[in-house]
Structure 1
Amino acid sequence: MAPAEYRDRVPRVEEVDGRLMWVFDGQPVGRFSAGGVVARDGSKEESEIALHSWTIDQIHEGAYDPTVRLQVMDECGIDAQVIFPSTIGLGGQSLAMVEDERLRRLTVEIYNDRQAQIQADSGDRLLPLPLMPAWDVDACVYEARRVAALGARGVNMTSDPQDLGSPDLASPAWDPFWEACTEARLPVHFHIGASVTNMTFYGKYPWPSHPPSTRLAIGGTLLFIGNARVVANLLVSGVFDRHPDLKMVSVESGCGWIPFILEALDYEMAENAPSDLAKLRKPPSEYFRSNLYATYWFESNRHKLPALVESVGEDNILFETDFPHPTCLYPNPVERAQETMKSLSDETRRKILGENARKLYRL
């Protein structure tokens, strides 16, 4: 709970021009809406209808109620899930719109404390990742250590802290934060659309003449590829030479683009930046296997899947369901994945569907 003097300034729901909105320090930051396509009865609605008209009373309760979410997981055969934020930005980037530094820090701490409580109450089956105050490197170091003490198994980070006034993530200024995450065994997560820059591009991906539903499909497709930008920047930043045990995750972005991007980055660095490449201890592509994870859920060409897994690395892929978003596998995520993954060995399926995550998140 916020101190009395901040209670009317932290994010809250208010009616603005006849619509329920999230308001942060007096400024609307987004609709108080469902944010998913799975209805109360378990059916799935067309994205254009659900995302723009559904209220909280229409979305499946598992989208926001931890107790119901655990029931959904039991029904689907899911042991544990990593959970990401929405209204305040997939990387927490919307928090920086408020000038009051104390209010921003307080909001992050209240949010993260609540996530720790949800995790503890679930018996570590729900892992809602804490947000980092990315506008301040020292504050990130402090918060990473604080949430680690609360039991966090990872942190959620914006991909473009330079949008918020901090150095970009290739800067050695972030080394204390990377070290804190390495010491606490906190993998750093980059969700698609997790920055002001990414969401600005998202609005420009589709051509305006497309119908709204098609624009959503195009935007969603290219948000996946947008994380290629994040991965490419990280791989040549030198951060993994300085912090070889640091782990990072590209979230909700699929796997199919990864082999091409790794091959292209190796080639382009050799052709265009050979002196910079010489400063790295190994080719950019090799850092992916040692330090990065990708997420997999809907890619279904089973004949090509073994080659894809071999290229990305069977130890580097995590299964996701994306519940309750438009691309989710609900209502039968495990069955659908098992069908898609028939061409893989039993050992590889076990790794992707659970064992990689158990190891990464210390479950």
Structure 2
Amino acid sequence: MPTEALGETLDRPQAKSSIKIIDADTHLTEPHDMWIKRAPASIRDRVPQVKMLNGVRCWVIDGDKSIGTGAHPNSAVLKEGGKVRDLDQFLALQFEQVHAGSSNVKERLKVMDEAGIYAQIVYPNILGFGGQMAAKVDPALRLATVQIYNDAMAEIQEESGQRLFPMALLPWWDMKEAVKETERCIAMGMKGININSDPHTSRDENGDLIPDLGHEHWYPLWEVCNDKKLPINFHIGASETSIDWMGQQGWPSLPRDLRSGISGAMLFFNNGKTVANLIYSGVLDRYKDLKFVSVESGIGWVPFLMEALDYQLDEIAETKIFQKRPSEYFKSNFYACFWFEKKDVSDMLHKVGIDNCLFETDFPHPTSLYPIDNLEERLASLTQEDRAKVLSTNAARLYNIAI
């Protein structure tokens, strides 16, 4: 990025912040007609849509397979402002009750302008954070569902005037199609891909288990991303096995909302598993320029995990040789996103690495920062240059966003 662009980042005299803030994790409440209005007539009845199923309003795919019982909008921000902070009330919300900025581009831009946010990276809801819900149907419908989603996202990016940047979903169950779709999305101007973090727990169209992300099966995709400098994002809950809002982490004696709180917190640590496996896989010795983003996972766990990986390698796997120390791969190839962390956050940003941290809000999810304010005050002990990095220029470089 030219130095002039970085200078412009610090020059917004009429904005709430002097920095063109890039929010590295937000979500789209998918409009109910998003697939229907773009699908060819032959599959219009089968693509994701909202309809009554067994007397309940649901998101369905393939006519009768629920991928969202209750057709929940996945937004906690209310139509007239304010935010629901009670789990039962949140789960009862419908599309018509939540803020239009959850789904509408013009209204989203208004929310961003009010908060002083220049651009947002956008992730899905209905198909799963890693697109895992699309895998419930036959390969042809799976592929069409993902392609239509990406078409809609490219349109949103254009409509927003290059301020909203959705990450492309992939047909990760088919490597050839995944590479083709990645190249198609690059041609449409999209800035990154969104990957399933645990593909090895799913099967391909032949019924065979898909290899994990460290296997040579994935090399064709990594080659494209490495050559095109395309970031690879894995969001918390980006697989059938990693997502767990209610069940496995909290003890049965706890009420549902507290179990959900524990499960949500533990999801952050789950992303550490993906980071660790990618580092130990050795793939980064082969594709040195790959950039991975751990999305919506916080940053506080990173220094401990890196120290632990270094230690474990020395103590129980000293015969395994990599070109760098495990912790050095994080510095060269990984980013993590922070939002709610306030206590000593400036010190933690330095421990993780100023150049490896991105800021997010998670708008409009329940754990999102809303209202969004005092961003720079939270980072008051950082230099202006470092504040600009974590709030803007790191993301601008990574996603090739003009600022």
TM-score higher than 0.5 here? yes
Distance in 2 separating the partners of 1:179 and 1:192: 24
Offset at 1:361? 1.2
Offset at 1:233? 0.7
3-state SS in 1 of match to 2:57: strand
3-state SS in 1 of match to 2:168: coil
Distance in 2 separating the partners of 1:163 and 1:67: 39
3-state SS in 2 of match to 1:197: coil
Distance in 1 separating the partners of 2:141 and 2:220: 24
Offset at 1:142? 0.9
Which residue of structure 2 lines up, in the alignment, with residue 261 of structure 1? 305
Question: Are 2:372 and 1:332 aligned?
Answer: yes
Residues 317-356 of structure 1 mapped to structure 2, 5 A cutoff: 317-333=357-373, 335=374, 337-356=375-394
Offset at 1:135? 0.7
3-state SS in 2 of match to 1:344: coil
Which residue of structure 2 lines up, in the alignment, with residue 167 of structure 1? 211
Distance in 2 separating the partners of 1:205 and 1:246: 32
Residues 127-206 of structure 1 mapped to structure 2, 5 A cutoff: 127-165=165-203, 166-199=210-243, 203-206=247-250
Question: Are 2:348 and 1:308 aligned?
Answer: yes
In structure 1, give the amino acid aligned to 2:355: D
Offset at 1:60? 0.9
In structure 2, give the amino acid aligned to 1:45: V
Which residue of structure 1 lines up, in the alignment, with residue 94 of structure 2? 55
Which residue of structure 2 lines up, in the alignment, with residue 10 of structure 1? 47
- The answer to which structure, 1 or 2, has the higher relative contact order (CA under 8 A, 6+ apart) is 2
Which residue of structure 2 lines up, in the alignment, with residue 286 of structure 1? 328
Offset at 1:225? 1.0
CA contact (8 A) 2:247 2:260 kept: no
Q: Once the two structures are aligned, what percentage of the paired residues are identical?
A: 47
Offset at 1:199? 1.8
Offset at 1:97? 1.2
CA contact (8 A) 1:134 1:164 kept: no
CA contact (8 A) 2:246 2:260 kept: no
Give CA-to-partner distance per residue, 1:25-67, whole Å, 9 cap, x none: 1211113112121111111112413431011111111111111
Which residue of structure 1 lines up, in the alignment, with residue 26 of structure 2? none
Offset at 1:323? 0.8
CA contact (8 A) 1:127 1:152 kept: yes
CA contact (8 A) 1:202 1:223 kept: no
CA contact (8 A) 2:234 2:295 kept: yes
In structure 2, give the amino acid aligned to 1:104: R
List structure 1 runs of 4+ shifted beyond 2 angstroms: 200-203, 304-307
* One of 269, 275, 286 as aligned partner of 1:231: 275
Which residue of structure 2 lines up, in the alignment, with residue 19 of structure 1? 56
Distance in 1 separating the partners of 2:72 and 2:240: 21
Distance in 2 separating the partners of 1:2 and 1:44: 34
Which residue of structure 2 lines up, in the alignment, with residue 357 of structure 1? 395
Gaps of 5+ in 2: 1-37, 204-209
**For the structure 1 residues 44 and 202, does the alpha-carbon distance in structure 2 shift closer, same or farther, using more than 3 Å as the test?**
closer
* One of 284, 306, 311 as aligned partner of 1:240: 284
3-state SS in 1 of match to 2:95: coil
**For the structure 1 residues 170 and 47, does the alpha-carbon distance in structure 2 shift closer, same or farther, using more than 3 Å as the test?**
farther
Distance in 2 separating the partners of 1:172 and 1:74: 44
Distance in 2 separating the partners of 1:61 and 1:219: 28
In structure 2, give the amino acid aligned to 1:121: E
In structure 2, give the amino acid aligned to 1:315: D
Give CA-to-partner distance per residue, 1:254-295, whole Å, 9 cap, x none: 00000000000111111111222x1x1111110011110000
Offset at 1:310? 1.9
**For the structure 1 residues 332 and 200, does the alpha-carbon distance in structure 2 shift closer, same or farther, using more than 3 Å as the test?**
closer
Which residue of structure 1 lines up, in the alignment, with residue 154 of structure 2? 116
In structure 2, give the amino acid aligned to 1:321: T
3-state SS in 2 of match to 1:196: coil
* One of 49, 59, 68 as aligned partner of 1:30: 68
Offset at 1:219? 0.9
Q: Which moved more, 1:290-299 or 1:31-40?
A: 31-40
Root-mean-square deviation (Å): 1.3
Distance in 1 separating the partners of 2:130 and 2:116: 28
What TM-score do you get using the length of structure 1 for normalisation?
A: 0.95
* One of 73, 81, 97 as aligned partner of 2:136: 97
Distance in 2 separating the partners of 1:70 and 1:50: 26
Distance in 1 separating the partners of 2:275 and 2:119: 26
Gaps of 5+ in 1: none
Distance in 1 separating the partners of 2:105 and 2:202: 31
Offset at 1:20? 1.1
Offset at 1:240? 1.0
Distance in 1 separating the partners of 2:179 and 2:340: 35
Distance in 1 separating the partners of 2:90 and 2:316: 43
What TM-score do you get using the length of structure 2 for normalisation?
A: 0.86
CA contact (8 A) 1:91 1:190 kept: yes
